[in-house]
Structure 1
């Protein structure tokens, strides 16, 4: 009998990782530090948000519509938290939006959505799946962050992930702004 693992009827990639590495310096890691501390190019990620209901309808968001409601109910908490983030981290909200945009693009790629405005109908078909993927990517990223030490409940993390994602939708970082497609 041979060694290895057999996945019967597997339709996707399987990645099993055993981490036996010792943390070492790397050129790639050093480059990431340089990029992270550099003055960012003046890319304006602030956009004139669309009216909320118009955006929901434009993107055909249905099953994840409740995420928007979470933002509406907690807008003051989100806004004050983003203000505090900017005080703690230079260009914190810009870095947050940039990361959420990356999650959005990864989610779009998973569903083969890449060419706007041609793929707009495909986005509308998969908008709820795209939001679900952004939630998953955000949650996984946050849970693996070394900044989150013990003492935080999973419920707090889940709530925060929903608020961050809803903020990104409202700010037109995740999903499309109808004002851009007129």
Structure 2
């Protein structure tokens, strides 16, 4: 079962243990503040807000996070068939009923370049690393969607499940990515620096249509 998916039927709730993902053990200031967003069924999504001045450190954080995530992947899933249908991001946000993560995805221009740069550098050292990570994230999404479908009433359609749980899906995937980055044996990253890159990597995957559903024509 996907790590954390047991929360799916009860919603995602913040607690003190979850806050440890953005706070170090040496009283360092966290990378940003956490805000609570209420979405479908009054469920609470906890999102990190990154102060503007912290964006200066983003390229180095993303580079470290990409290396750690790549090292955490044991095997790359098989690529899924490519879908050449075009769409714009606003259309995909609306189609999937994304609410809590909308601001993160709207601000993609502030951090997307750093994710791409980190993947490009990683590809130079390990060809195919970008594709491996994106397929890995796609497999996480499919697993979460399948588990949520198993909890839904019989006959519930895939898009209904996705729309009812889109922000929850994004949070579960981001949380799992964060755990893999945090638990990696590769040195050089503080625990309080993990959550922002994990969210950035998740939203990059959304933009590249590895998470949630592509709008119908």
Q: Distance in 2 between matches of 1:83 and 1:47?
A: 23
Instruction: Determine the structure 2 residue equivalent to 1:136.
Output: 175
SS for the counterpart of 2:157 is: coil
Instruction: Determine the structure 1 residue equivalent to 2:122.
Output: 85
Alpha-carbon distance change, 118 to 42 in structure 1, aligned in 2, over 3 angstroms = closer
Higher strand residue share: 2
In terms of Rg, which structure is larger?
1
SS for the counterpart of 1:112 is: helix
Q: Distance in 2 between matches of 1:87 and 1:166?
A: 23
The correspondence of residues 1-182 of structure 1 with structure 2, limited to 5 A, is 50-112=87-149, 118-147=157-186, 149=187, 151-178=188-215, 181-182=216-217
Q: Distance in 2 between matches of 1:74 and 1:177?
A: 22
Alpha-carbon distance change, 72 to 44 in structure 1, aligned in 2, over 3 angstroms = farther
Alpha-carbon distance change, 74 to 63 in structure 1, aligned in 2, over 3 angstroms = same
- Offset, 1:171: 0.2
Instruction: Determine the structure 1 residue equivalent to 2:69.
Output: none
Aligned Cα RMSD in Å?
Answer: 3.0
State the TM-score, normalized to the length of structure 1.
Answer: 0.67
* Count of residue pairs the alignment pairs up: 143
For residues 140-175 of structure 1, give each alpha carbon's deviation from its aligned partner in whole angstroms, at most 9, with x where no partner exists.
12112222x2x4222321111011101000000011
Alpha-carbon distance change, 139 to 45 in structure 1, aligned in 2, over 3 angstroms = farther
Q: Distance in 2 between matches of 1:81 and 1:121?
A: 35
* 8 Å Cα contact 1:97/1:168 also seen in 2: yes
* 8 Å Cα contact 1:68/1:166 also seen in 2: yes
SS for the counterpart of 2:149 is: coil
